[in-house]
Amino acid sequence: MKLSKIFASLLCVSVLSVGSVMAETSFTPLNFDESNAVKAPATTTSRTVSGVQAKGTDLLDPAQVTGGTKMQTAITEIDKAQMEVRNNLLNYKAKYAEIDSKYQTTKAERAAMRKQVRQAEKKIKNLDKAKNTIRKNFERKSNI
């Protein structure tokens, strides 16, 4: 019974985590034709800062990058889903800890009650033995 509960708990946790694992490993970016991509020439700018010449690159506007805002939106949605799964995981862990503490308490109470039952059974058995011994002694004395 205990093993089946543990197995069921592990199965539940694994089923809940499979979604996030599969999302991380099976995500493939959209393939766009390179002919549709807007290609901007890479330019460098230079400026003098206190006698030292610094070079920088112009970053492309997100609209110019292949996929642009659609890709950013998809990444944002995945981030939101990941946060939701993490929040659910925290809730599941909290519930598991609560149930586990109840289980440990119940287990301890069960062990204590089992010990009391055994002691009571042992007392009854000893009293039965004493009663039988007294009967045997009484029968011997009355037969003499």
Residue range 73-85, pLDDT digits in tens: 999 999 999 999 9
The larger pLDDT score, comparing residue 106 to residue 67, is at 106
Q: How confident is the model at residue 103 (pLDDT cuts 50, 70, 90)?
A: very high
Greater model confidence, 123 or 51: 123
Amino acid 144: pLDDT: 66
Does residue 44 surpass a pLDDT of 80?
no
Mean local confidence (pLDDT), 107-121: 97
With 90 as the cut, is the pLDDT of residue 49 above it?
A: no
Lowest mean pLDDT among 22-31, 34-43, 91-100, 123-132: 34-43
Q: State the sign of the Cα–Cα–Cα–Cα dihedral 122, 127, 131, 134.
A: positive
Q: pTM of the full predicted structure? A: 0.40
What CA–CA distance (Å, rounded) separates 75 from 88?
20
- Long-range pairs, 78-82, Cβ under 8 A, ≥24: 78/23, 78/27, 81/20, 81/23, 82/20, 82/23
- DSSP letter (8 states) at residue 44: E
Contact by Cβ (8 Å): 21, 14: no
List phi, psi (to 5°) of 56: -135, 165
